[in-house]
């Protein structure tokens, strides 16, 4: 077993380059998101006013054909300042998100709960010291599952939940309801790149475990009595290879039934409460 650094996965089956050009936009990504009608803001002026008012945003979609000038430039600038993810998408995607409303090439997703940045998470990790505990999610796309995981993370005393913007269910009212209110209690960070976020977390002295069916060690053989991050992978493909490569160690649950995998939220609960058990008995 690797020795953890001391300092301040779904558990399911294994599982473009940014456009170059003259635009000064930050790196952008595309994704497929549905079921967010109550949390969508449509149009340049409404999005800009919401940004100025300080509302909590999860992401902004901008048409690939929109010129980076005027209100679009200001939206991009404010989004960059606030650390909001920007997605560069075809106009058809904006049509889908906006429905019959005139989106003018801009749509945004606001959050019913506050979304934090990695700097905020770092402060929590430093404050907790050896008891720091993070849950990191690799492309959990089912909002019910995401809500259940957030509920588990809060119940187990995790400091924060960290997840990528791309191919991940947004923290909308469906997720909020499924979390039974936990989404309002535990910090949630949405990052552009999960592998890079893991590398950052490791620099803080946090030991990163990825949950996999064929993990290196049985979960009860791990020592979680130090700064710990658990990675739970997607419902279908588990942890992606680039994310797995960043893990310090992969862990497995003992499986003996005909179904060789667990729901992501269930696996997260088993692992998270093993962390709790070890720390309460140490």
* Residue 199, pLDDT above cutoff 60: yes
- Residue 74's domain comprises 37-110
Identify the domain boundary among 110, 126, 156: 110
261 pLDDT band (50/70/90 cuts)?
low
Q: Quick one: 161 and 251 in the same domain?
A: yes
Residue 177 contacts by C-beta under 8 Å, 6 or more apart in sequence? Answer: 147
260 pLDDT band (50/70/90 cuts)?
low
94 pLDDT band (50/70/90 cuts)?
very high
* Residue 271, pLDDT above cutoff 50: yes
What does the pLDDT average to over 127-134?
Answer: 96
194 pLDDT band (50/70/90 cuts)?
very high
Q: What is the pLDDT of residue 43?
A: 93
- Write the CATH number for 49: 3.30.1330.30
Cα–Cα distance measured from residue 236 to residue 228, given in angstroms and rounded to the nearest whole number: 25
List phi, psi (to 5°) of 208: -105, 120
Cα–Cα distance measured from residue 134 to residue 252, given in angstroms and rounded to the nearest whole number: 18
User: By the 8 A CB rule, do 165 and 139 touch?
Assistant: no
Identify the domain boundary among 63, 92, 110: 110
What does the pLDDT average to over 165-179?
Answer: 89
pLDDT digits (tens, 9 = 90+) for 2-38: 545 444 344 443 333 444 333 343 333 334 444 456 6
Q: Which residues pair with 88 in a beta bridge?
A: 62
> Domains in the chain: how many in total?
2
pLDDT digits (tens, 9 = 90+) for 179-190: 999 999 999 999
pLDDT digits (tens, 9 = 90+) for 100-112: 889 999 999 888 8
Could you write out the three-class secondary structure of the chain? CCCCCCCCCCCCCCCCCCCCCCCCCCCCCCCCCCCCHHHEEECHHHHHHHHHHCCCEEEEEEECCCCCCHHHHHHHHHHHHHCCEEEEECHHHHHHHHCCCCCCCEEEEECCCCEECHHHHHHHHHHHHHHCEEEEEECCCCHHHHHHHHHHHHHCCCCEEEEECCCCCCCCHHHHHHCCCHHHCCCEEEECCHHHHHHHHHHCCCEEEEECCCCCEEHHHCCCCCCEEEEEEECCCECCHHHHHHCCEEEECCCCCCCCCCCHHHHHHHHHHHHHHHHHHC
Is residue 25 domain-resident? no
Identify the domain boundary among 110, 145, 161: 110
Q: What is the pLDDT of residue 222?
A: 96
Q: Quick one: 192 and 259 in the same domain?
A: yes
User: By the 8 A CB rule, do 98 and 42 touch?
Assistant: yes
List phi, psi (to 5°) of 165: -75, -35
Q: Quick one: 97 and 137 in the same domain?
A: no
User: Quick one: which of 93, 177, 181, 117 has its CA closest to 143?
Assistant: 177
User: Quick one: which of 155, 158, 106 has its CA closest to 128?
Assistant: 158
What does the pLDDT average to over 218-228?
Answer: 96
Q: Quick one: 129 and 50 in the same domain?
A: no
b (16+ CB within 10 A) / e for 136-145: bbbbbbbbeb
* Residue 235, pLDDT above cutoff 70: yes
In this structure, of 20-29, 32-41, 68-77, 257-266, the range with the lowest mean pLDDT score is 20-29
Q: Quick one: 266 and 144 in the same domain?
A: yes
User: Quick one: which of 151, 156, 138, 125 has its CA closest to 226?
Assistant: 125
Q: Quick one: 129 and 250 in the same domain?
A: yes
Q: Quick one: 81 and 156 in the same domain?
A: no
């Amino acid at each position: 077993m690797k020795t953890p650094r001391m300092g301040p996965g779904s558990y399911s089956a294994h599982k473009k380059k940014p456009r170059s050009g003259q635009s000064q936009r930050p790196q952008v990504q595309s994704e497929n998101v549905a079921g967010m009608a109550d949390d969508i803001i449509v149009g340049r002026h409404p999005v800009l006013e919401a940004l100025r008012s300080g509302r909590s945003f999860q992401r902004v979609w901008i048409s690939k054909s929109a010129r980076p000038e005027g209100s679009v430039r200001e939206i991009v600038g404010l989004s960059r300042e606030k650390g909001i993810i920007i997605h560069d998408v075809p106009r058809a995607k904006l049509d889908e998100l906006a429905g019959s409303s005139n989106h003018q090439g801009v749509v945004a997703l606001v959050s019913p709960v506050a979304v934090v940045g990695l700097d905020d998470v770092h402060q929590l990790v430093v404050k907790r010291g050896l008891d720091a505990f993070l849950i990191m999610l690799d492309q959990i796309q089912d909002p019910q599952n995401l809500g259940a995981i957030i509920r588990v993370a809060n119940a187990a005393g995790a400091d924060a939940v960290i997840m990528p913007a791309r191919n991940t269910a947004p923290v909308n009212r469906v997720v909020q309801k499924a979390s039974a209110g936990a989404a309002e209690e535990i910090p949630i960070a949405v990052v552009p790149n999960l592998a890079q976020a893991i590398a950052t977390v490791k620099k803080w002295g946090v030991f990163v475990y990825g949950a996999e069916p064929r993990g290196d060690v049985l979960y009860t053989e791990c020592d979680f009595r130090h700064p710990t991050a658990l990675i739970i992978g997607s419902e279908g493909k588990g942890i992606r290879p680039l994310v797995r490569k960043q893990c310090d160690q992969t862990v497995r649950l003992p499986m003996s039934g005909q179904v060789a995998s667990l729901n992501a939220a269930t696996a997260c609960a088993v692992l998270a409460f093993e962390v709790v058990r070890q720390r309460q008995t140490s």
